[in-house]
Structure 1
Amino acid sequence: MAMLSTPWNDAVSKLTKLNHPHALATVISSSGSSPRGSGSKMVITTENTYDSIGGGKLEFQIINRARELLNNNSASQEIKEFYLSSSCKQCCGGTMTVLIETFIFNKIPLTIFGGGHIAHELVQIIGDLDFEISWLDSRKSFSSAGSSKRMPDYIEKPYKEINNLDEGSYVLILTHDHELDYLLMKELLEDWRWSYVGLIGSSNKSRKFRARLKNDGLHPDDVNRFQCPIGIEGIKSKKPKEIAISVAAYLLSLTGNRKDSNLLDWKTLKKELNLSHEEISLR
C-alpha cells in the first residue's frame, strides 16, 4: 500500500475520470485533542491512500473500514465515531466522527434479445454509455462470428439465458418472432427480479400479449409490469434509428433516477450526528 501526498481533491478528480472505485473519508466533527478538525479529508482505494486525516492507529482503522465498504462493490455512506484514547490507542484523547463515502462506477446490466435493425441502432447509440450490454439472437446468420462490427451473440434458445441474468437487470425484447417474444416475456414475468422489461410492438400487440399471459395463469399485477410499446411517449416514428433514440432516452430517464439504498440523505445525516441546521450549513 502506498500513502501518497496528493491532495484529496486532486485524487478524487483523477480517480473519477478513470472510473476507479474509491472512498472519501471526511471528519464531520471532533472534540478534545483530536489530530484533525472538521472538514479534513482523505481518499482511499484498494491500493493507495491520498492525503491524511491525522495518521496513526485512527487512520489505519478508517482505511481498513473504507476498504471493507469498497469490497461490497456498491455506493454507500457510513458514519462512525472513533474514541481516540481507547479503540485507536492514541494518547491525544477526544473523539472524531467520520463520514466514509464509497464511489463505485458499476455499469448497468442491460440484456437485449434480438439482432434486428432497431437493436443495431440502439447498441450504437448506448454502446459508450454506462451500460453493460448482453446482446443475444437465435439466428446464426446474425451472430458476431467473422464480423468487424459489433453483432449479437448466437444462442439457440434465448429464453434459457434468463436464469443467468443479474438481478435488477434491464431487459429489452426486440426479436423477429412473436412466439419467441412471448416465451421470453412469460419467463421474465414468472421470475420477476428486474428493474425494467420492455417489449417491441404496437398497442395491439401489447393487449394480445397481456390477455394471453392472464389466460396462462399470470397474476394481473405481473402482467402489467412490462412496457409495450417501448420508448418515450409521443414518438410515432417507425424508423429504426428514431425508435432506438426513443428507447435510449427512456432507458436514460430510468437509470438516471436510480438511488442507492445505502446512501444517506441530509435529514438522516443531521439526525445521525445530532447537528443543528446552522452547523450543517457551515460544513
Structure 2
Amino acid sequence: MSWISTLAELQEQGLPCVLVTIIDERGSTPRNSGSKMVVTAERIYQTIGGGHLEYKAMEMARQMLASGSQSTRLERFNLGASLGQCCGGATVLLFEPMGQPQAQIAVFGAGHVGRALVPLLAGLPCKVRWIDSREAEFPEQIPSGAEKVVNDEVVDEVDNMPAGSYFIVMTHNHQLDLELSAAILKRDDFAYYGLIGSKTKRAKFEHRLRDRGFNPEVVQRMRCPMGLGEVKGKLPVEIAVSIAGEIIATYNAHFGEQKHSKSAGPIAQLLPASRRNHA
C-alpha cells in the first residue's frame, strides 16, 4: 500500500498519524530523499530505510501524537556523531501531523438544530459524539466523522469525554439541560461549553447553579446564548452556522496549545454573544 493510500485509509478511520519524509540525506548509509513513513500510535507504514534513524523518527512522531501537536517540524539527525562515529553524516526529516482533531465535541440533542449542526461540525477537523436518549430522533444517515450515541442516561456521557473537550447542550428538556450543565461545570476542565437558549434561560440557570453551590466564575464559562452574535436568524441552519463559527473561533484561539485546561479564559472574553438561541 502506498503512503497516499495509507493516509486516506487512516483518515477514513479517524486515526491521527504523522507523515515522516526524508528532506536531505548526507549520511553514509544510503537513503532516498523523499522517502516517507506513516506513524500512528500503534503501527508504522512504509519505511525511510530502517535502522536507528527510523527508530528515532518513530519515537519523535509518537511523542507528537501523544502531545496532540499540530505543528510541522524539521529535525536534523546526526546519528553517527551521537553513536561516537566520525562519518555518520546527517539526515533532515520533515514531520507532518495528519488527522489530529482540533476539537473533541459532545453534542447533546438530536433535535432540529442538532441535525443542522452536526453535519457542519463533522466536516471540520473535529471528532464528534452525537448523544440523545431517543434513537428515533437521529437521521438515518449519520455524517462521516460523527458517532451516534444512544443512552437513556444521557448525563453519564459527560464523564466519557476527555479533558479539554467541547460540550454543546441543546436537548428537548430544560431540566436535562440543567443536569448536563451541572455535570459539565463540575468537571471544569472543558475548552468550551455552550448551552442553547435565551438570556432569560441563562439567568434562570445561573440562579439554580448558584443554589447548588457553583462558583460564579465557573458558571461564567458557560456560553448561553451561544454562537456568533454577528450571525443573525432563527432558522435551525442559521443557528447551527453561528455555533459552528464560534467553535472554529475557539479552537483557532487555542491553536498550538498541547492541552486545554480549566485555566483557559472563557470564550465570552473572545466573542460577545449578543443574540438569542431559542431552545
TM superposition score normalised by structure 2: 0.70
Return the alpha-carbon distance in structure 2 between the equivalents of residues 86 and 215 of structure 1: 62
**AA of the residue aligned to 1:172:** I
Residue 92 of structure 1, aligned match among 87, 90, 93: 87
Return the alpha-carbon distance in structure 2 between the equivalents of residues 256 and 86 of structure 1: 39
Residue 44 of structure 1, aligned match among 25, 37, 47: 37
Mapping for residues 1-283 of structure 1, pairs under 5 Å: 19=11, 21-24=18-21, 43-45=36-38, 46-49=44-47, 60-72=51-63, 73=65, 74-75=68-69, 77=73, 79=75, 82=78, 84-85=80-81, 87=83, 89=85, 91-92=86-87, 96=90, 98=92, 101-107=95-101, 108-142=103-137, 144=138, 148-150=140-142, 153-261=149-257
Per the TM alignment, residue 259 of structure 1 is displaced from its structure 2 partner at its CA by 2.4
Change (3 A) 1:170 1:81: same
Change (3 A) 1:177 1:93: closer
Structure 1 runs not aligned, ≥5 long = 5-10, 263-283
The alignment partner of 1:160 has SS state of: helix
Return the alpha-carbon distance in structure 2 between the equivalents of residues 232 and 184 of structure 1: 22
Greater CA radius of gyration, 1 or 2?
1
Contact 1:162 1:188 in 2 (8 A): yes
More deviation, 122-131/245-254: 122-131
Query: How big is the alpha-carbon RMSD for the aligned residues of Structure 1 and Structure 2?
Result: 3.3
Per the TM alignment, residue 207 of structure 1 is displaced from its structure 2 partner at its CA by 1.8
Return the alpha-carbon distance in structure 2 between the equivalents of residues 63 and 128 of structure 1: 34
Moved beyond 6 Å, runs of 4+: 13-18
Question: Alignment identity in percent?
Answer: 27
Contact 1:66 1:100 in 2 (8 A): no
Q: Deviations over 1:20-61 (max 9, x none)?
A: 63124556xx9xx9659xxx76533222135xxxx7xxx732
The aligned counterpart of 1:266 is none
More deviation, 214-223/126-135: 126-135
Per the TM alignment, residue 16 of structure 1 is displaced from its structure 2 partner at its CA by 6.7
Structure 2 runs not aligned, ≥5 long = 12-16, 39-43, 259-279
More deviation, 15-24/196-205: 15-24
Per the TM alignment, residue 113 of structure 1 is displaced from its structure 2 partner at its CA by 0.4
